[in-house]
Amino acid sequence: MKTVLLFWTIVAAMAPASVVNAQGRGCDQIVQNINDAMATIDQDATSYWTHRANFVDLIFGPSSQVVPNASQVAEQEKSQADAVKEKMPGRVNSLKGLLTAAQAQNCLSPAQLSAIGEPTIKHGKRVNFDQFPPETPTQSSTDRGPPRMPQK
């Protein structure tokens, strides 16, 4: 009888500790998911801007004169950027959901959530709202950039 009583006393004493550990693991998992989501958004945004820069270089830059099939390569860069851009709204929304879950479970303070979430969300939104320049090649190899206003 004393053994059974001792067993249940130990179980009862350990139960609250295991709930606290479970909550801690829950927050750890949420924070890890937030870190993973932020890393994915940052990697995708970097990839998008790299493809966009390559596109601009192939259409308007020095590569347009050097690369034999520059317009085809530029189209490939644009399609790769479009594929990355297509996934960005879902990734940003997922991060927002994780931040909401972290706030609901008091895993991070509102200031911490804002500090870690806002820059990445803005980074993702910049990709969402970006538009590629029109694919009109430069008029001549010496006149690069947008047209200038006429001089009087």
Which CATH number is 85's domain given?
A: 1.20.58
Report whether 120 contacts 42 (CB < 8 A): yes
* Dist. CA 83–CA 90, nearest whole Å: 13
Query: CB under 8 Å to 76, separation ≥6 — which residues?
Result: none
pLDDT band per the 50, 70, 90 thresholds, residue 136: low
Residue 148 domain-assigned? no
The dihedral through the CA atoms of 132, 134, 136, 141 has a sign that is negative
pLDDT at 133 over 50: yes
103 confidence band (pLDDT: 50, 70, 90):
very high
134 lies in some domain: no
Residue 13 has pLDDT above 90, yes or no: no
Decide if 144 is inside a domain. Answer: no
User: Full-prediction pTM beyond 0.85?
Assistant: no
Q: Over the stretch 28-67, which tens digit does the pLDDT of each residue have?
A: 999 999 999 999 999 999 999 999 999 999 999 998 898 9
Residue 51 lies inside a defined structural domain of this protein: yes
Return left, alpha or beta for 149; rule: phi > 0 is left, psi -120 to 50 is alpha, else beta.
beta
Give the residue, 71 or 24, on which the prediction is more confident. 71
Q: What is the dihedral of CA 18, 21, 26, 32, to 10 degrees?
A: -150
Is residue 122 assigned to a domain? yes
Binned at pLDDT 50, 70 and 90, residue 137 comes out as low
Inside any domain, residue 149: no
The chain-wide mean pLDDT, for the chain, equals: 80
Share of the chain above pLDDT 90, in %: 59
Q: At residue 20, what are phi and psi to the nearest 5 degrees?
A: -60, -45
Is residue 14, in this structure, part of any structural domain at all?
no
Classify residue 17: in a domain, yes or no. no
Domain that holds residue 44: 23-129
Token pair 């803005």: residue: 122
Number of domains into which the chain is organized: 1
The whole-angstrom separation of Cα 103 and Cα 58 is 45
